[in-house]
Amino acid sequence: MIKKLKNFYLFRHMDEAKLARLEDISNIVEYKKGTILFFEGDEAKNMIVLLDGILQVYKTDQKGNKVILHHFFPVDVIAEIVNLEHMRYPASAEFETDGRALIINYELFEKEFLKDPEVSFAFIKSLSKKIKYLENVIATNMVMNSTARVAKFICEHGHEISDLKKSHIAADLNMTPETLSRILKKLSTLGLIEKKKDEIIILDKEGLETFYL
Amino acid sequence: MIKKLKNFYLFRHMDEAKLARLEDISNIVEYKKGTILFFEGDEAKNMIVLLDGILQVYKTDQKGNKVILHHFFPVDVIAEIVNLEHMRYPASAEFETDGRALIINYELFEKEFLKDPEVSFAFIKSLSKKIKYLENVIATNMVMNSTARVAKFICEHGHEISDLKKSHIAADLNMTPETLSRILKKLSTLGLIEKKKDEIIILDKEGLETFYL
DNA sequence: CAATTTCATTGACCAATATCAAGAATAATT
DNA sequence: AATTATTCTTGATATTGGTCAATGAAATTG
């Protein structure tokens, strides 16, 4: 069970004894699709490592709309700052698929593991990865308009489009399905993409990139 | 000169020898108001610690408008991720006042200092502080509307308003001066604030908070 | 395969905020 | 104090994207 963690950078250098101890102070929980892992404002006593499934992190604006911030994929530590800073979750998290998570007693983890230079260096890496991610959220959502966000998404995730519902993509891009639909039509009219059934073909990648680069 | 650093958490536990070595691998540079410390996309060979002055960090959108992300105040490490991840600056930085910065050779710093558990723990703190900051940028700019941003600003920085030009405040809140002016008028009409010459008096803090809490 | 449900598109309209231009107030300079 | 420059406010208009409602197209179910 815990072997999977060996593949995860935070735990890679741990010997058997340490991993066993980690197992002692943690447990694995399964979640169904749609389950809320935590709500914005919740207090955190545990550190969470996502083992399986996709986790969506979002805030809710005044009108009750979701503003989607991240998607976490296995294996990832979720919201370590909340533990480090003894703060409350700044956003909510919901499982987008069935999933599993390792729930670690943070107090013990900090005491027994975090002083280890290897672990703390890995922690630094994990935090800086998160900062990069947040910078990207900001760059995408604060600096770019809807058309640019769509163009970027097509260029970076063109292949995924066939698997995802349009309404899902729209939500991830923080826009309505109507807006997405109109923008796709526009890009299609401009001859930058071709909308085939269930698929979007990029005709002019450079043209798309001019919207966001 | 370097003594000032003793007050900064990242360097607090360093002994004289270490501080001296730090001085060896770094130098202090003065900047005039309006100077660009780095541009978005620049590569970073040094780690920067802001010693004096206010540094504004921003991106530029397609229309050429600034989108202001942070203000850094002394003493703060600037954009450590850029060093840690060997990436390019994700935003530009400009001195809003005259200032000074400690420019540290990062390669040497990483080699000689970062393995030290105390330093790396402090680094973790610094990174997590930055994440909190970014979370706040997102919470403020992506999920709140203009009125909420203004209400929040008044509640949190009421005193500073007298020192700042309205157009400056508007820029920091990522809105136009016209919008700010209209919102202040609205809040004033609602009896939540009173606009005196050069000053804004909060009449009903709870009323203001309802806009953003 | 017909019926039903879900999802995507389209059009008409609305709300929030930006833009542009003019005027009013304030501050700085002579 | 008068003049000039700067900043602030106000109104008119434009733009972007959201909302609501209707229709069309796919997918699912019986």
Q: What is the DSSP string of A97-162?
A: S-EEEEEEEHHHHHHHTTTSHHHHHHHHHHHHHHHHHHHHHHHHHTTS-HHHHHHHHHHHHGGGGG
Contact B123 A124 (CB under 8 A): yes
CA A192/CA A113 separation, integer angstroms:
52
Contact A68, A133 (CB under 8 A): no
Q: What is the pLDDT of residues A89-117, one digit of tens each?
A: 999 999 999 999 999 999 999 999 888 88
Query: What residues form DSSP beta bridges with B56?
Result: B71, B94
Task: Sort out which chain A residues have CB atoms less than 8 A from B81's CB and list them.
Answer: 128, 131-132, 135
Q: B12: how many CB neighbours lie within 10 A of its CB?
A: 11
Contact A132 B85 (CB under 8 A): yes
Q: What is the pLDDT of residues A142-171, one digit of tens each?
A: 999 999 999 999 999 988 888 899 999 999
Determine the distance in angstroms separating the CA of B103 from the nearest CA of chain A, rounded to an integer. Answer: 20
> Which parts of the protein come within 7 Å of strand D, by CB position?
A 63, 65, 145-147, 174-176, 178-179, 197-198; B 165-167, 177-178, 180-182, 184-185, 195
Q: What integer pLDDT is reported at residue B27 of this predicted model?
A: 92
Determine the distance in angstroms separating the CA of B152 from the nearest CA of chain A, rounded to an integer. Answer: 14
pLDDT per position in chain B (213 positions), as tens?
Answer: 666 677 777 777 788 888 889 889 999 999 999 999 999 999 999 999 999 999 999 999 888 899 999 899 988 899 899 998 999 999 999 999 999 999 999 999 999 988 888 888 888 888 988 999 999 999 899 999 999 999 999 999 988 888 899 999 999 999 999 999 999 999 999 999 999 877 899 999 999 999 998
Query: What residues form DSSP beta bridges with A112?
Result: none
Protein-to-nucleotide distance from the CA of B4 to the C1' of D30, whole angstroms: 78
Q: What is the pTM of this model?
A: 0.89
Q: What is the mean pLDDT of each run of 10 residues along chain A (213 residues)?
A: 69 83 92 94 94 94 89 90 92 94 94 85 87 92 96 91 91 96 96 89 95 90
Structure tokens given for A110: 């900090």
Query: What residues form DSSP beta bridges with B1?
Result: none
Q: What integer pLDDT is reported at residue B32 of this predicted model?
A: 93
Nucleotides of chain C touched by protein CB (<7 A): 7-12, 16-21, 26-27
CA atoms A82, A83, A88, A93: torsion sign: positive
Chain B's closest residue to A134, CA to CA, is: B134
Taking CA A58 as the corner, what is the angle to CA A53 and CA A59, rounded to the nearest 5 degrees? Answer: 160
Q: What integer pLDDT is reported at residue B183 of this predicted model?
A: 98
The H-or-E segment that residue A18 falls in is: helix A16-24
- What b-and-e string marks burial along B72-82, b requiring 16 or more CB atoms within 10 Å of the CB? bebbbbbbbbb
Contact B58, B67 (CB under 8 A): yes
Contact B142 A142 (CB under 8 A): yes
Contact A59 B139 (CB under 8 A): yes
Determine the distance in angstroms separating the CA of B125 from the nearest CA of chain A, rounded to an integer. Answer: 8
Residue pairs spanning A and B at CB distance below 8 A: 105
Residues in chain B: 213
Contact A62 B145 (CB under 8 A): yes
Q: B146: how many CB neighbours lie within 10 A of its CB?
A: 17
Query: What residues form DSSP beta bridges with B50?
Result: B76, B101
Q: A36: how many CB neighbours lie within 10 A of its CB?
A: 11
Chain A's closest residue to B139, CA to CA, is: A59
Distances (CA, A) of B58 to A136, B93, B95: 13, 6, 11
| Residue among B61, B89, B124, B152 with most chain A CBs within 10 A, to mutate | B124
Distances (CA, A) of B99 to B3, B70, B151, B192: 17, 16, 30, 37
